[in-house]
Amino acid sequence: GKKSAAPKPDMTVKQFKETVIKHLRSTLGTYEEKASKQAWNQAIAASVNEFIFDGVSRTRKTHAGKDARAVHYLSLEFLMGRLMSNNLQNLGLYELADKAMKELGFELADILEEEPDMALGNGGLGRLAACFIDSMATLALPAIGYGIHYEHGLFRQEFFKGRQVERPDQWREFGSPWEICRPESEQVVKLYGYVETVYENGGSHKVWHPGRTMRAIPWDIPIVGYGGHNVNVLRLWESRADKFFDWDVFNSGGYVDAYTESVQAETVSKVLYPNDETDAGKELRLIQQYFFSAASIADVMRRFRNAHGNDFSKFTALNALQLNDTHPAIAIPELMRVLVDEEGISWAEAWKMTRETFSYTNHTLLPEALEKWPLRMIQHVLPRHMEIIFEINARFLKDEVETKWPGNDGIKRKLSIIEEANGQMVRMGNLSVVGSHAVNGVAQIHSDLVKKDLFPEMNELWPGKFLNVTNGITPRRWMKACNPRLSTLIEKHVDADWPRYLEKLTALKPLADDSKFQKEYMAVKHANKEDFVKVIKELTDVDVSADAIFDVQIKRLHEYKRQHLNLLYIMALYRRLLINPDYDMHPRVFIFGAKAAPGYYLAKEIIFAINKVAEKVNNDPRIKDKIKVVFLPNYRVSLAEKLIPAADVSQQISLAGKEASGTGNMKLALNGAITLGTLDGANIEIAEEAGEENVVIFGMDVDEVVETREQGYNPGHYYQNNEELKAVLDWLDSDFFTPGEPGLLSAVKHNLVDHDPYMVLADYQSYSDAQSKIDALYRDKKAWARAAIINTASLAKFNSDRSIQDYADTIWNLKPIKAAAK
């Protein structure tokens, strides 16, 4: 049966056209002859919203009537990208809209380009949150995402003479049709001030007198589940000045001074911090974390009190709170504060409730990314929370650590939430583990390392608390919507509900050896590449051929991800061609997409080096277009959606043990790119699912990395003993790629030869050999097609619906509630 999970909405093309035109006139205030593409885009969005708002209401009513247990997903980042195409797909309206717009004289795809990306995230962690809320809605789980309504998302990247320049992101410049402001649900958030101990009736309690208050205004973004039954919401908080705060200043002639206060309050939700992996310890960032955590907890409490008054016996049965990394960890002492100080619940009871409610996902082992806040800063900004953290810590050390390891101060020092070295610091990871009933990593190897290396004693203390939930991606966005050609081909052979049940793609496995299907599959890839050739031309002015291998590395720029390993190999290939113009290789296009944190010096030097090498290679007639290198500016979700369907090779080349999971690896493999990767993160599980013969693995594994480091890693050894490696590194010191300016690329060389913290040189030869395997495999057309098809057919495990089902079963104990039909 070719049953479809998406209901066909009871609307005709003609009716859809009429609705769009109605909105063009009455919502946008324009008309057909005059309307810009942007106005058409907004009119379509308004039409789609007629379905969506109905879904929001149906879902809410269903939950309200049921006293439903719900999960609250707390994340500082939701990297949503564009919403229109996904909403149309999930509502089953895409084809209808496509036809309607054709009849009106437009290509829907063109109009979709008018929508700015919602770039409210940095990279993997933020995009994961976006895939997860799609899956929560699709699985009909009562769930709400909480985050910040940043005025400016991640910076727009431009290149100036090969160097990254950051420009402000303006996603809401003209308003977003997808958000609904809910002023009636505003919350007040307190900051600063002091704590008073009030003694009465023989006991005492604490009163926090804040030095400042501000308002948190919620904006709701509807999240449409696939099939359109349930529509959940993503609630993003915007900061505003407290209405009455400086009334006195205002009235006494301080009209302008009063605005200074409001500017400060409104700064809180102004801009997304663009660093991933390094923690700068800035007060504004701490305030962002507290601001949205406190507003979200207050929202949960309001909803609970509306249903149950001050009877908290059902609180843990009805609420799960998930921490997306430690960024919202301050929500733990915040819930304690509300339960103890505001609700008058005993510490012991409140702590039990808190621990049963929270769970924490770890996304990185990199020491520089593990959040620590100066104790003085927390004391200043959140005096009551600092007291609560001290109390949590004292009880933890006395009741749990001392009981398990009596008299062992070394272990106490290690497990303490307070770090006593170099000025006291609050360890948010320790706080999160202590305050949660479950802690998970994001791929099997990563979860093993969280237990073994990051929190070994915590794991001994609470066996069973540490779990694995391997990441996933939504196949709706990352196949059905972004790769219509492959989706159409797939649908000729498998049930139409494959975007919901991705394991149905296993039906493609027998076709992997069918030469007709191989040709069709590779024709789809070629057509996608032809489309992307135009994108490359538009963005970089470089001409590339769709017959070349499209070799893709797309991810944040970081040393541990080793974009410079890729660069060294490109230089080596180039050198081989200069030495021997007949060097035998299939033409290749190396495609990069990456933003560097604005303050990350070496990452920016690597971008510069790639751009300079690209300039030289792309314009050298001697190599006859065998190699092209393009660094696409402003890599983002909407660009990924165009590139991933066109990729042949997926570079996943992090040093083993450093990439927690990766999710781009899943998107690329699902779309038929062959993984060239290390045994790191989810690469290992991709190799297990697709079969080791259908991926190309290279480099040291985690054990070998540890061994190499223990023996005293010496990068100079590899530099001295590998002729090709030495030659390309020395090249970076010359002025070959920067004519007249020798030394401009030296920082990259010297970092590698003298330090090489991520062992690029140790893995170089193995990587180069693996690249040769890729070349040979590609030239065996049938073998390549077979491997690509098997990848597409084998990736069901990486459906984010599976990840979310795992969370629901093992951590949240959450059951679906399907919203009632109209």
Catalytic residue set = 363, 555-556, 561, 663, 667
Phi, psi of 78 (to 5 degrees): -135, 105
> Which one, 131 or 505, has the nearer CB to ligand 26V?
131
Question: Which range in 269-277, 294-302, 588-596, 720-728 contacts ligand 26V by CB under 6 A?
Answer: 269-277
Question: Which range in 124-132, 374-382, 415-423, 484-492 contacts ligand 26V by CB under 6 A?
Answer: 124-132
| Minimum CB distance to ligand 26V, residue 760 (Å) | 18
Question: Which range in 164-172, 197-205, 237-245, 274-282 contacts ligand 26V by CB under 6 A?
Answer: 274-282
C-alpha–C-alpha distance, residues 563 and 555, integer Å: 9
| Minimum CB distance to ligand 26V, residue 371 (Å) | 6
Q: Quick one: DSSP state of residue 224? A: E
> Which one, 125 or 697, has the nearer CB to ligand 26V?
125
C-alpha–C-alpha distance, residues 314 and 70, integer Å: 12
> Which one, 56 or 450, has the nearer CB to ligand 26V?
450
C-alpha–C-alpha distance, residues 543 and 161, integer Å: 19
C-alpha–C-alpha distance, residues 166 and 158, integer Å: 6
Q: Which of 59, 85, 87, 122: binder of ligand 26V (CB under 6 A)?
A: 122
What track of x and - describes contact with ligand 26V for positions 643 through 672 (by CB under 6 A)?
Answer: ----------------xxxxx---------
Residue 217: strand, helix, or coil: strand
Q: Give whole-number Cα distances, 429 to 84, 257, 456, in Å.
A: 37, 40, 13
> Which one, 125 or 350, has the nearer CB to ligand 26V?
125
Residues in the chain: 822
Q: Quick one: DSSP state of residue 34? A: T
What the block records as the tokens of 475 is 């196949």
Question: Which range in 116-124, 328-336, 505-513, 756-764 contacts ligand 26V by CB under 6 A?
Answer: 116-124
What track of x and - describes contact with ligand 26V for positions 734 through 753 (by CB under 6 A)?
Answer: --------------------
> Which one, 168 or 581, has the nearer CB to ligand 26V?
168
Q: Which of 55, 81, 123, 218: binder of ligand 26V (CB under 6 A)?
A: 123
Instruction: Please state, as a whole number, how many other Cβ atoms lie within 10 Å of the Cβ of residue 343.
Output: 15
Question: Which range in 48-56, 270-278, 287-295, 793-801 contacts ligand 26V by CB under 6 A?
Answer: 270-278
Secondary structure in 3-state letters for 444-498: HHHHHHHHHHHCHHHHHHCCCCEEECCCCECHHHHHHHCCHHHHHHHHCCCCCCC
Phi, psi of 195 (to 5 degrees): -115, 130
Q: Please return the burial class of 240, using the count of CB atoms within 10 Å of its CB with bins 0-12, 13-18 and 19+.
A: middle
> Which one, 99 or 604, has the nearer CB to ligand 26V?
604
Closest by Cα among 416, 514, 506 to 457: 416
Task: Identify residues 388-447 at the interface with ligand 26V (CB under 6 A).
Answer: 442
Q: Which of 115, 276, 334, 763: binder of ligand 26V (CB under 6 A)?
A: 276
> Which one, 125 or 353, has the nearer CB to ligand 26V?
125
The residues near 632 (Cβ < 8 Å, ≥ 6 apart) are 536, 539, 540, 591, 592, 593, 639, 643
Secondary structure in 3-state letters for 414-445: HHCCEECCCCCEEEHHHHHHHCCCEEEECCHH
Residue 279 near residue 258, CB atoms below 8 Å: no
Position of minimal CB gap to ligand 26V: 124
Task: Identify residues 298-327 at the interface with ligand 26V (CB under 6 A).
Answer: 325
Question: Which range in 120-128, 243-251, 307-315, 615-623 contacts ligand 26V by CB under 6 A?
Answer: 120-128
- CA of residue 243 relative to chain centroid, distance: 35
C-alpha–C-alpha distance, residues 96 and 85, integer Å: 12
| Minimum CB distance to ligand 26V, residue 698 (Å) | 19
What region, left, alpha or beta, does residue 81 occupy, with left being phi > 0 and alpha being psi -120 to 50 degrees? left
Residue 155 near residue 164, CB atoms below 8 Å: no
| Minimum CB distance to ligand 26V, residue 362 (Å) | 9
Task: Identify residues 332-371 at the interface with ligand 26V (CB under 6 A).
Answer: 363-364, 369
Task: Identify residues 661-720 at the interface with ligand 26V (CB under 6 A).
Answer: 661-663, 681
Q: Which of 35, 108, 125, 647: binder of ligand 26V (CB under 6 A)?
A: 125
What track of x and - describes contact with ligand 26V for positions 179 through 208 (by CB under 6 A)?
Answer: ------------------------------
Count interface residues toward ligand 26V (CB under 6 A): 22
What the block records as the tokens of 308 is 């149950």
DSSP letters spanning 158-215: EEETTEEEEE---TTTT--TT-EE-GGG-EEEEES-EEEEEEETTEEEEEEE-SEEEE
> Which one, 51 or 273, has the nearer CB to ligand 26V?
273
Closest by Cα among 222, 216, 225, 143 to 186: 216
| Minimum CB distance to ligand 26V, residue 543 (Å) | 34
| Minimum CB distance to ligand 26V, residue 153 (Å) | 13
Question: Which range in 122-130, 220-228, 421-429, 775-783 contacts ligand 26V by CB under 6 A?
Answer: 122-130
Closest by Cα among 290, 282, 320 to 389: 290
> Which one, 529 or 561, has the nearer CB to ligand 26V?
561
| Minimum CB distance to ligand 26V, residue 273 (Å) | 4
| Minimum CB distance to ligand 26V, residue 400 (Å) | 28
Q: Please return the burial class of 385, using the count of CB atoms within 10 Å of its CB with bins 0-12, 13-18 and 19+.
A: buried
What track of x and - describes contact with ligand 26V for positions 460 through 489 (by CB under 6 A)?
Answer: -----------x------------------
| Minimum CB distance to ligand 26V, residue 151 (Å) | 17
| Minimum CB distance to ligand 26V, residue 125 (Å) | 3
Q: Which of 78, 208, 219, 273: binder of ligand 26V (CB under 6 A)?
A: 273
| Minimum CB distance to ligand 26V, residue 124 (Å) | 3
Closest by Cα among 63, 49, 32 to 144: 63
> Which one, 171 or 273, has the nearer CB to ligand 26V?
273
> Which one, 768 or 799, has the nearer CB to ligand 26V?
799
Q: Which of 55, 92, 116, 124: binder of ligand 26V (CB under 6 A)?
A: 124
> Which one, 222 or 328, has the nearer CB to ligand 26V?
328
What the block records as the tokens of 135 is 């899956």
Rounded to 10°, the helix 781-794/760-779 angle is 110
Question: Which range in 183-191, 276-284, 418-426, 717-725 contacts ligand 26V by CB under 6 A?
Answer: 276-284
| Minimum CB distance to ligand 26V, residue 686 (Å) | 12
Cα angle 599-602-608, degrees, rounded to a multiple of 5: 100
The residues near 183 (Cβ < 8 Å, ≥ 6 apart) are 217
Q: Which residue has the tokens 């991926």?
A: 695
Q: Which of 277, 605, 648, 724: binder of ligand 26V (CB under 6 A)?
A: 277
| Minimum CB distance to ligand 26V, residue 470 (Å) | 10
C-alpha–C-alpha distance, residues 546 and 370, integer Å: 43
> Which one, 354 or 563, has the nearer CB to ligand 26V?
563
Q: Which of 86, 275, 447, 474: binder of ligand 26V (CB under 6 A)?
A: 275
Residues binding ligand 26V (CB under 6 A): 122-125, 128, 273, 275-277, 279, 325, 363-364, 369, 442, 471, 659-663, 681
